[in-house]
Structure 1
Amino acid sequence: MPGPGYPPHGVSAAHGVPPPLAHVLHRAGHLGAARRPDPDRRRRIAGLWLWANGLLAGAVLNVIFTLFGVLDSEGSMLSAMLVGALFAFPPLVLYLFVPMIIDRYDPEPWWCLLMAFLWGALAATGFSILINTGVHVGVSRSFGEPMGELVSASISAPFAEELFKGLGVFGFFYFLRREFDGIVDGIIYATFCALGFAAVENVLYYARASMQGSDVLAGTFVLRGVFTPWLHPLFTSMTGIGFGLARESSKTWVRVAAPIGGYLLGVSLHAVWNFLPAALGRAMGEVFMPWLLLWLCFVASFFGIIVALVIRKGWVIRDHLRDEVALGMLTEDELELVCSPVGRLRCTLGWRGATGRSFIRAGARLALSKWHTSRALAGQNRTISADFIAPLRHEIAQLRQELLARTPR
């Protein structure tokens, strides 16, 4: 006679795993949780140390190059940068809200999103401006200013900027694996890195435009702040998709090739966007509108793909929680709450409150951990996701008791 908690016949505790193996996995999860409550603690600490040092170095580089700009302009650049900041940062409230709305089923922790944003705003911008300035100065001295502008804009900038933004995504992929589940997460982290980068970059663009007059400033804001605020997120999301594919795959060649391929695709898109304005100069005005409309269509199509990927993520969560209902860990109503795209909003506006939101997050994390575990087992690999299954079940049970205690009578 099976012991308590053993799956009924034909039901597995980890989706796609035969019941006997699922039982072993369930027991191993309890033992692993007892021995290693935080199996990736050292990796997370190492990642935090690298992130903090990268942020500090990037901030120092930004300050140095800003001071050079202010001194070179005899102080006028400082007031212009204040104007640029007023135009660059307020729209972020809207920009940052969009990816948070899209990621409905398993939103990333706010501190992860903040880390991604700060990496893009400070580290990625600092290292990129160092490389881009060096390339621009070196090529200009040898081949003239126009060639320096062309090479730095269409070659140096795409490679350097996408590399350092992509390193932020890699940090979450490697050091914070429990917060990185697949393609959608890769896109979200890439978007926040890119929005941080674009915000700081826009300060410089708007500052230079304001020094040329209000008409130039208005035109620059309309172009960068209204029509093309999503270009940097689009470019870096290619790298994010690459790391997302690597996270979802158990094949070694995919885990290596996908991030590299995504990075090169992002570099290519970035280079194409930068090349024509740098190459054509004033003649760009004749083809600007068709060029802009083409890119807007491309961005709109990409948003459609993201929505489809988010829906797919919801299906994965539902599929890997069905056996939790059979095991008695969840009820049908609780399953629908976890899998609802408005479940968190219902909790916020209803009696479940923060406890309900935590319950939804724990349920989604459990489903995704089981998804990673089943794929790892199918590929005969090991994943730390298996260590999270038992603790997440325990957390769900505790949250469930809290919700039952506060249920309206």
Structure 2
Amino acid sequence: MFTLLSAAIAPGLSLMSFFYLKDRFDHDPISMIIRTFIMGALLVFPIMFIQYAFETEGVAQAAWSQSFLLSGSLEEFFKWFIFLYVVYKHTSFNGHYDGILYGVSISLGFATVENILYLFANGIEVAMGRALFPVSSHALFGVLMGYYMGKAKTSNIQSKKSKLLVVSLFLPIILHGFYDLILEMWSTYWIYILTPFMILLWLLALRKVKIANEYRIKVVPIEKKKWNA
């Protein structure tokens, strides 16, 4: 059991550490990251209940509706809702890259609990594949959500803030939906389609990480100059 639990938790903690250490400036409080991770973890149970209810009633069971409604929209909306109403106005969320950290934290909390349940049901044999695909994809959706949340937080234009908040919700929904649709529609050859999809997703996410860090490089000197004697 310990081996199974370790295999289920390790990918989430590794990815969280990776993105935390990518922050080239001041690191956010560990307590807040743990808090958002736990909130993401707790989302699994109400979402699983809703998905089970739809499945039992035979509603929205087509490939498109399962992928974009029951997986993409449902999961990403709840993550976004937690982010917006719990994290967005918090004092520790004060920079562009902070959005990425909190987005990843919420997403990996969700992915880790989901992974634990899946490995206990299906065995440790699927651990590597789960780490490379579902857990990683949740982290990358979190990067994109957090990037646009962080951009909205640092913008001084209200209309731009609103547009960025909309993008922070719908971009992860669309990408998550396509991820699940690949698995639904190409169940035999999914790995040949999903692998390039994941590579592109990683490249996009790492590009956003770089931009967020570069943004802080531009802002920090201005803030320091303001306090010079």
TM above 0.5: yes
Measured against aligned partners, the alpha-carbon deviations of 1:97-142 in whole angstroms (never above 9, x if no partner) come to 11111112121111110111001011x21221122112222226xx
Which residue in the other structure is 2:168 paired with? 262
Task: Tell me which of 151, 172, 179 is aligned to 1:273.
Answer: 179
Which residue in the other structure is 1:397 paired with? none
The structure-2 alpha-carbon separation of the partners of 1:250 and 1:230, relative to structure 1 and needing over 3 Å to count, comes to same
Structure-2 separation of matches of 1:131 and 1:227: 23
| Secondary structure of 2:88's aligned partner | helix
Which residue in the other structure is 2:208 paired with? 305
Which residue in the other structure is 1:186 paired with? 99
Task: Tell me which of 115, 123, 130 is aligned to 2:35.
Answer: 115
Higher RCO (CA-CA < 8 Å; seq separation 6+)? 2
| Secondary structure of 1:229's aligned partner | helix
Tell whether 2:163 aligns with 1:244: no
Which residue in the other structure is 1:173 paired with? 88
Which residue in the other structure is 1:133 paired with? 52
Structure-1 separation of matches of 2:175 and 2:68: 10
Q: CA deviation at 1:149?
A: 6.9
Measured against aligned partners, the alpha-carbon deviations of 1:291-336 in whole angstroms (never above 9, x if no partner) come to 31232232133213302321321331122202423x1xxxxxxxxx
Quick check: 1:169–1:189 contact (8 Å CA) kept in 2? yes
Matches within 5 A, 1:4-403: 84-122=4-42, 124-139=43-58, 147=61, 151-170=65-84, 171-174=86-89, 176=90, 178-210=91-123, 217-218=124-125, 220-227=126-133, 229-281=135-187, 283=188, 285=189, 287-325=190-228, 327=229
Structure-2 separation of matches of 1:257 and 1:85: 40
Structure 1: segments with no counterpart, 5+ residues:
1-78, 211-216, 328-409
Q: TM-score, normalization: structure 2?
A: 0.88
Structure-2 separation of matches of 1:231 and 1:91: 11
Q: CA deviation at 1:84?
A: 4.6
Which residue in the other structure is 1:61 paired with? none
The structure-2 alpha-carbon separation of the partners of 1:107 and 1:88, relative to structure 1 and needing over 3 Å to count, comes to same
Structure-1 separation of matches of 2:210 and 2:115: 27
Q: CA deviation at 1:230?
A: 2.3
The structure-2 alpha-carbon separation of the partners of 1:270 and 1:200, relative to structure 1 and needing over 3 Å to count, comes to same
Q: TM-score, normalization: structure 1?
A: 0.51
Measured against aligned partners, the alpha-carbon deviations of 1:235-281 in whole angstroms (never above 9, x if no partner) come to 23333233222212222222222212220111000000001211233
Which entry has the higher C-alpha Rg, 1 or 2? 1
Measured against aligned partners, the alpha-carbon deviations of 1:157-202 in whole angstroms (never above 9, x if no partner) come to 211111111122211112x1x2112431111100011111100011
Question: Which amino acid letter does the alignment assign opposite residue 226 of structure 1?
Answer: L
Structure 2: segments with no counterpart, 5+ residues:
none
Measured against aligned partners, the alpha-carbon deviations of 1:334-354 in whole angstroms (never above 9, x if no partner) come to xxxxxxxxxxxxxxxxxxxxx
Question: Which amino acid letter does the alignment assign opposite residue 261 of structure 1?
Answer: V
Between 263-272 and 85-94, the greater mean CA deviation after superposition: 85-94
Structure-1 separation of matches of 2:227 and 2:181: 53
Quick check: 2:68–2:173 contact (8 Å CA) kept in 1? no
Structure-1 separation of matches of 2:99 and 2:198: 22
The structure-2 alpha-carbon separation of the partners of 1:245 and 1:305, relative to structure 1 and needing over 3 Å to count, comes to closer
Matched-pair identity in %: 19
- Number of aligned residue pairs: 228
Q: CA deviation at 1:83?
A: 6.4
